[in-house]
Amino acid sequence: MNKKQELLLSLPSVDEVLKSRHGQGWLESCPRRYVLAAIRDVIDLRRKEILDGTAGDASIEDMASDIEIKIQRASRVSLRPVINATGIVIHTNLGRSALSEGAAENVKRIATGYSNLEYDLDAGMRGKRYSHIKRLLREITGAEDGFAVNNNAAAVLLCLSSLAKGREVIVSRGELVEIGGSFRIPDVMAYSGAVLREVGATNKTHMHDYEDAFNDNTAMVLKVHQSNYRIIGFTEDVSIERLISFGHSREIPVMYDLGSGCLMDLRPYNIHSEPLVQDIVRSGADLVTFSGDKLLGGPQAGIIVGKKELIEKIQKNPLTRAVRIDKLTLAALEAVLMEYVDEDKAKKKIPTLRMLTENRQDIKARAKKICAILKRDIKDAAIDLREDSSQAGGGALPEKDFLTFVVSIRPEKISVNDLEERLRRGEVPIISRIKDGCLLLDARTISPHEVPVLVKGIKAALR
């Protein structure tokens, strides 16, 4: 018998692998169908290798690690945690905002049992889903009333559909923005059934443009925060205050889509362009919409606050049901809003706010620590601490440099692009950026508890 025949004969059957110590272990923790498929695949592969003369062993022990990798790949959930080392705090592709511990705990409490979601415990009868956040929204924003839906795109759609269907809405041309590739004001307007009445030029819109556009069929004035887009130079727009007095003199509501929805003054932290929800409400806007997971730092949601009469009208629209907020999101949102009641604590508890407001010395200390560990353990890469700038993301633009500290890595044995890919495809994916031939890890968006996993991932990628 030659070597090939010998190896082919020693190849175990699927059943033998299943009955082995390894097979029993896999069956205990993974679905049987994935275990079977992985065993079959690896045995088939090994048979081919034997015939090609490239395999030297075909024992169960020898195949076990290949089988295990296949089982793990198949049993792994697709949506999983990553380390955001990009420095972009509100990163839409990476899930925008991380929830605070308190909010996550509240989600778990509500998720794993029954709740009074739509049950009035005092009256012993059907209650309202939106009652749970109404008081907090009123308290925090100063508005008469408020509730939340699936996301801000839904909030805008719902408001327009409820108050302006078949009628005209005046919007400045400079505010007809597209956000994140799929939210375009003109498209949302078309879906809502409202008729867009665009006024002004891209760079300039004057009060008289609004005045000239007004007619018997005008339902509303809409102002849209330009978010991640700026027209610089020879520009002019009409302030929300002037739009409000115009709208009220003509007896039509004025709505402001704020996008990011800042509930805390972030100017001391170099985020200057975000109007505060409270200020807009106080100035008399009839409706204000904003996201739950941008600067607010909560779950994906669209928050609508404003005049009681309008909110009640919107809630009666059948579309409200189609875009309603689910109980897990509501649990997270209520807990986060509760944290806003004490602003100083909110800055520490809510990850988005913590990252945006963290002082530079603390960011530097964390970057320095990561740098020192990497330098100690890694010899074939140039590793340095550097100053750089982060981004707020989520449509909030820092006007000045948003300074941060990064660890820069220039590998010697592989290319920087290879390193970026290996990190991204690692056990715990690490998302980084490349600048001037170096890979940068921004300490602003790396939490202290992620540091050991980060270091392990980098070491593995450079091996």
Ligand X SMILES: *Cc1c(COP(=O)(O)O)cnc(C)c1O
Residue 159: phi and psi, rounded to 5, are -65, -45
- Residue 257 is a binding residue for ligand X (CB under 6 A): yes
- Residue 183 is a binding residue for ligand X (CB under 6 A): yes
- Residue 411 is a binding residue for ligand X (CB under 6 A): no
Of 179 and 314, which CB lies nearer to ligand X in the complex structure?
179
Of 179 and 346, which CB lies nearer to ligand X in the complex structure?
179
Of 259 and 351, which CB lies nearer to ligand X in the complex structure?
259
- Residue 153 is a binding residue for ligand X (CB under 6 A): yes
- Residue 259 is a binding residue for ligand X (CB under 6 A): yes
Of 218 and 273, which CB lies nearer to ligand X in the complex structure?
273
Query: Measured on CA atoms in the order 421, 427, 433, 437, is the torsion positive or negative?
Result: negative
CB 427, min distance to ligand X, A: 30
Please identify which residue in 220, 224, 288, 438 interacts with ligand X, judged by CB under 6 A: 224
User: Which part of the chain contacts ligand X (CB under 6 A), choosing from 52-60, 150-158, 204-212, 409-417?
Assistant: 150-158
Backbone torsion region of residue 181, taken as left when φ is above 0, otherwise alpha when ψ lies between -120 and 50, otherwise beta? left
Looking up tokens 């960011």, which residue turns up? 363
User: Which part of the chain contacts ligand X (CB under 6 A), choosing from 13-21, 146-154, 157-165, 267-275?
Assistant: 146-154
- Residue 299 is a binding residue for ligand X (CB under 6 A): no
Task: Tell me the number of residues near ligand X by CB under 6 A.
Answer: 15
User: Which part of the chain contacts ligand X (CB under 6 A), choosing from 12-20, 106-114, 257-265, 274-282?
Assistant: 257-265
Q: Which of 83, 80, 86 is nearest to 452 (CA)?
A: 83
Of 157 and 419, which CB lies nearer to ligand X in the complex structure?
157
- Residue 298 is a binding residue for ligand X (CB under 6 A): no
CB 152, min distance to ligand X, A: 3
Of 183 and 405, which CB lies nearer to ligand X in the complex structure?
183
Please identify which residue in 97, 100, 141, 151 interacts with ligand X, judged by CB under 6 A: 151
In single-letter form, the type of residue at position 103 comes to A
How far apart are alpha carbons 299 and 95 in whole angstroms? 9
Please identify which residue in 253, 302, 393, 411 interacts with ligand X, judged by CB under 6 A: 302
Of 39 and 133, which CB lies nearer to ligand X in the complex structure?
133
Please identify which residue in 132, 225, 422, 444 interacts with ligand X, judged by CB under 6 A: 225
User: Which part of the chain contacts ligand X (CB under 6 A), choosing from 43-51, 52-60, 256-264, 408-416?
Assistant: 256-264
- Residue 179 is a binding residue for ligand X (CB under 6 A): yes
How far apart are alpha carbons 36 and 242 in whole angstroms? 69
- Residue 152 is a binding residue for ligand X (CB under 6 A): yes
CB 191, min distance to ligand X, A: 13
CB 57, min distance to ligand X, A: 54
**How far is C-alpha 217 from the geometric centre of its chain's CA atoms?**
38
- Residue 390 is a binding residue for ligand X (CB under 6 A): no
User: Which part of the chain contacts ligand X (CB under 6 A), choosing from 46-54, 137-145, 149-157, 405-413?
Assistant: 149-157
Vertex 346: Cα angle to 223 and 144 (nearest 5): 45
CB 142, min distance to ligand X, A: 21
User: Which part of the chain contacts ligand X (CB under 6 A), choosing from 16-24, 147-155, 369-377, 426-434?
Assistant: 147-155
Please identify which residue in 395, 398, 411, 457 interacts with ligand X, judged by CB under 6 A: 395
- Residue 149 is a binding residue for ligand X (CB under 6 A): no
Of 253 and 302, which CB lies nearer to ligand X in the complex structure?
302
Instruction: For the chain, give the secondary structure using H, E and C.
Output: CCHHHHHHHHCCCHHHHHHCHHHHHHHHHCCHHHHHHHHHHHHHHHHHHHHHCCCCCCCHHHHHHHHHHHHHHHHCCCCCCCEECCCEEEEHHHCECCCCHHHHHHHHHHHCCCCCCCEECCCCEECCCCHHHHHHHHHHHCCCEEEEECCHHHHHHHHHHHHHCCCEEEEEHHHCCEECCCEEHHHHHHHHCCEEEEECCCCECCHHHHHHHCCCCEEEEEEECCCCCCCCCCCECCCHHHHHHHHHHCCCCEEEEEECCECCCCHHHCCCCCCEHHHHHHCCCCEEEEECCCCCCCCCCEEEEECHHHHHHHHCCCHHHHCECCHHHHHHHHHHHHHHCCHHHHHHHCHHHHHHHCCHHHHHHHHHHHHHHHHHHCCCEEEEEEEEECEEECCECCCCCCEEEEEEEEECCCCHHHHHHHHHCCCCCEECEEECCEEEEEHHHCCHHHHHHHHHHHHHHHC
User: Which part of the chain contacts ligand X (CB under 6 A), choosing from 73-81, 108-116, 224-232, 340-348?
Assistant: 224-232
User: Which part of the chain contacts ligand X (CB under 6 A), choosing from 4-12, 37-45, 151-159, 438-446?
Assistant: 151-159
Q: Which residues bind ligand X (CB under 6 A)?
A: 151-153, 156, 179, 183, 224-225, 227, 257, 259-260, 291, 302, 395
